[in-house]
Amino acid sequence: MDRSLDSETLIPFLMRLLDDARGAGAVAAEVLRVDTQTTALSWKGDRRARPRRARALAITGAVYLDGGKAGWFKADTEDRSQLKRAVEDALRRARDARADDACAPADRYDINTRGLGIDDPRYETIDDTARLDVVRGNEAACTDVNGVDCVSVRYQDATVVRSFASSRGVQACSAETLYEVALEARDRTNGRTLVQSARARNFAHVGSLPYGVDLARRLADLRDEAAMPPGQPALVFETRVMATVLALLAPAFTSTRVRAGESFLADLKGRPIGHPRVHLIDDACMPGGVNTHAFDDRGVPSMPVPFIKEGHLGGLLYDPEEARRAGVRPTGHTLNGALAPSNLVLRAGNRSRTQMLGEVPLALCFDHLSGKVDIKTGRFDLSGPAFILERGQRQGVVPTVRLRGAITDLLAAVVEVASDQEREDAVDCATTLFKGFPVEVG
């Protein structure tokens, strides 16, 4: 696949599709071309698979008629005759569609494709030997800890070229790379398994960091089981845990869900979401972010959106149609046919983790949490192992601690956010301290 962003080839190709749509009777049209190439390599049970390569081409778009009627099409070919048929089928669907004055291509905005840090210049030099080294290195690192077995290691890299054009004069191309490594390990002493994964825009991040060592050490640390201490301990969410919770919460902040009553935010009526210390931003422009993009599937450049400002609802994600209804600018978060959150940033505090926890007599610090958050009701049910901390020092681990209740009550219990900001997948956050939220054992 050519990653050189040959706009002399890609944009004219899209413009011809727009001409075909107008020639067939559309008053407006838009089209997106996404070309993805992946290479995957894995290890499982002493078996190393050969590299698997795949390429996927997706061409999607919409045609519009007078009165706000639209029909969508999708194809996996660049054959012009097949694309013409797809456009004609979409026009037939548009004629039968419900009229909506808000339905139209997005307005034209300035799109910046530079400085985003999402296209690794090293990609073309990465060979299968380098990929295999990532797999072998993590597999060996897992087994360095006594009693820990590596169950599987999976590596994948992808390069994506996206191009967009619309009848409103929007023309844009961008290239991006994405690397991922995922590991699973098992502790032979108790049968516990853990998984860990990482994604990044550059190879060095997944190729040089010791994920296998971290995973094996986590398993070893969880062996020291202890009983739940009396009283009501404070709660500590490490960056990995806080990132999990925020990622589960983020889909609630889409305007489509709120308008349909499918988000608990629809019933807030001005009430706070959490403590005033909680400040959460969605930033699809963040340099190097795994969910960063120059423009979304509707040709709209992304913009930062403050989800939570000092504990209160700050903003929502909007596609072009929802934005017109609300009288605001679309936020550039439409991907794969739906609004989706991107990179999340929780504002960090001023004190170190050590300073913060050194003042807490008793706390439970979670290694990880799993379960669900009900976006519609705002209630959650999460559980996982938690270390007993006495003024920041570990005193054993409670095997299973359960948290359940309203997400607003949990965020209202935030006492402090430390300064140890780290990036966990698509979330930048820091160790967070909670007080007054009830816990259950088992």
Rounded average pLDDT over 332-348: 98
Q: Are 291 and 426 a contacting pair, CB within 8 Å?
A: yes
Q: Are 44 and 61 a contacting pair, CB within 8 Å?
A: no
Which candidate, 277, 273, 228, places its Cα nearest to that of 250?
A: 273
pLDDT band at 144 (very low <50, low <70, confident <90, very high): confident
For 209, half-sphere exposure in the C-beta direction (CA atoms, 13 angstrom radius) is 18
Residue 102 tokens read as 């808000």
pLDDT tens-digit map of 30-54: 999 999 999 999 998 767 678 999 9
Distance, CA of 137 to CA of 151 (rounded, Å): 14
Distance, CA of 288 to CA of 304 (rounded, Å): 15
pLDDT of residue 1: 42
- Residue with the two structure tokens 């999340």: 344
pLDDT tens-digit map of 368-414: 999 999 999 999 999 999 999 999 999 999 999 999 999 999 999 99
Which candidate, 58, 53, 76, places its Cα nearest to that of 158?
A: 53
Which candidate, 332, 41, 14, places its Cα nearest to that of 161?
A: 14
Domain boundaries, the chain: 7-220, 224-441
Which candidate, 231, 240, 199, 189, places its Cα nearest to that of 365?
A: 240
pLDDT mean across residues, the chain: 95
Q: Are 285 and 91 a contacting pair, CB within 8 Å?
A: no
pLDDT of residue 123: 96
pLDDT of residue 91: 98
Q: Are 306 and 346 a contacting pair, CB within 8 Å?
A: no
pLDDT band at 209 (very low <50, low <70, confident <90, very high): confident
Distance, CA of 282 to CA of 286 (rounded, Å): 9
Q: What is the pTM of this model?
A: 0.95
Does the structure show a pLDDT above 80 at 299? yes
Residue 40 tokens read as 């995957």
Q: Are 156 and 179 a contacting pair, CB within 8 Å?
A: yes
Alpha-carbon distance values, 222 to 143, 214, 362, 365 (Å): 16, 12, 18, 12
At residue 258, φ and ψ (nearest 5 deg) are -65, -45
Does the structure show a pLDDT above 50 at 183? yes
Q: Which CATH number fits domain 7-220: 2.60.40.1220, 3.30.2290.10, 3.90.110.10, 3.40.50.300?
A: 3.30.2290.10
Distance, CA of 356 to CA of 37 (rounded, Å): 45
pLDDT band at 6 (very low <50, low <70, confident <90, very high): low
Of 3-12, 32-41, 133-142, 221-230, least confident by mean pLDDT is 3-12
Residue 177 tokens read as 């790379």
Residue 252 tokens read as 């609630």
Distance, CA of 108 to CA of 301 (rounded, Å): 9
Rounded average pLDDT over 165-174: 96
At residue 131, φ and ψ (nearest 5 deg) are -65, -45
Q: Are 151 and 191 a contacting pair, CB within 8 Å?
A: no
Distance, CA of 368 to CA of 385 (rounded, Å): 7
